[in-house]
Amino acid sequence: MTREPENTGSSDALVRFDNVRKSFRTARGRRQQALDGFSMSIPRGSIVGLLGPNGSGKTTALKTLLGLVRPDSGTVHAFGHPLPQDQRHVAGRMGALIEGPAFNASLTGEHNLRLIGELHGAGAAEVSEVLELVGIAHAARRAYSGYSLGMKQRLGVAGALISGPELLVLDEPMNGLDPEAVRDMRELLKRLRDERGMTVVVSSHILAEVELVSDWVTIVRNGRVICDAGISELISRGTEHLVVRLHDTVAERAVAILERNGHTLTRTAGPRGTDELRMAAPQPPAYAPDVLKLLTSQDVYPRELLVEAVSLEDIYVAAVRAADAAAKDVSLDHR
Ligand SMILES: Nc1ncnc2c1ncn2[C@@H]1O[C@H](COP(=O)(O)OP(=O)(O)OP(=O)(O)O)[C@@H](O)[C@H]1O
Ligand SMILES: [Mg+2]
């Protein structure tokens, strides 16, 4: 089941960023605008995917939430508290893994967690519980230095969970994980949401990593949010396509027949000597029999008819292009 929480900025938003700006001074003395009017909210009980290319400001945004970076202007609220003024009131309610885990290499995973746990009043039982939860209980007594990258990431998530947070903040937790471990991580995040009512924000620069787990997607580029929407709303913004795959020798005729009958299509090379004719259609499954009938009535027999699902990747690319085009317009206006 996909939950679609309202992201209206009501009290259901656990976190709100409003027009946050933050610049850093680079080594060459120039100013780098990391957040440039960044606004987003995190709906309670949801998994939010914070997506954006390298350097777009994801880590900086998450750091402002954790009190690790102080905004130049704008406001950040978590659990209704203004940050960073009220950071200490909310610190215990958030667990975070930012820019990779930092553990003592010579200690075991369990020992490392015990040390973190002490800061939060968590004991051996909680340590065992989180180790179990992230699936590395079997390696609890091994030295951290011998952990694989995936095990280190999992231990990092365990560290973020040890305080029993309501909000889990994970910066690129899937980095370096193999496909199976990425799937495990997704399952874990869903379990935390469903069984513990946790709210999760997870950043990534790879869409596919978070696409299958997020209820909500926030796309950031150049320090500002260019797209902020529920997954099903995003999907409904795209258009499905009906794809007719046929032998390339009959493609020409098929194109002529379809165009004569008012269909608009694009033609591309398909696999193994086929061509693919792609037609935008609001409801491709309903559309398919008519297309098939039309073609076969004129002795053109497709090999396959496929309904191409809307890909979030297309939507992502479209949002980035639209934002770039808008930015170009603004800079032209200012010349
Ligand atoms: N402490 C810092 N000093 C100087 N510049 C910084 C600092 N932190 C971030 N920046 C700059 O701010 C911009 C945003 O960086 P940030 O780390 O937030 O991006 P990101 O989206 O997390 O990127 P990535 O996907 O590579 O992790 C970048 O241009 C970065 O170089
Ligand atoms: Mg980052």
36-48: pLDDT as tens digits? 999 999 999 999 9
Q: Quote the pLDDT of residue 161.
A: 94
Band of the pLDDT at 75, cuts 50, 70, 90?
Answer: very high
Q: How far is the CA of 57 from the centre of ligand 2 (A)?
A: 7
User: CA-to-CA distance for 269 and 292, rounded, in angstroms?
Assistant: 20
- Is 9 a residue whose pLDDT tops 50? no
Band of the pLDDT at 171, cuts 50, 70, 90?
Answer: very high
Band of the pLDDT at 53, cuts 50, 70, 90?
Answer: confident
| Range 239-308: architecture per CATH | 2-Layer Sandwich (3.30)
For residue 139, what are the contacts with CB-CB under 8 A and spacing of at least 6? 109, 147, 151
Distance of CA 183 to the CA centre of its chain: 14
The domain spans of the chain are 13-236, 239-308
Q: How far is the CA of 301 from the centre of ligand 2 (A)?
A: 51
- Mutating to test ligand 1, I would choose from 36, 54, 59 the residue with most ligand atoms within 8 A of its C-beta, which is 59
Backbone torsion region of residue 160, taken as left when φ is above 0, otherwise alpha when ψ lies between -120 and 50, otherwise beta: alpha
Instruction: Give, using CA atoms, the residue closest to atom 13 of ligand 1.
Output: 34
Q: Quote the pLDDT of residue 332.
A: 58
224-270: pLDDT as tens digits? 998 887 877 777 776 778 899 999 999 999 999 999 998 889 999 98
13-236 matches 239-308 in fold: no
CATH code, 13-236 = 3.40.50.300
- Is 135 a residue whose pLDDT tops 50? yes
For all residues of the chain together, what is the average pLDDT?
A: 87
Q: How far is the CA of 160 from the centre of ligand 2 (A)?
A: 17
Tokens 């994801």, residue located: 58
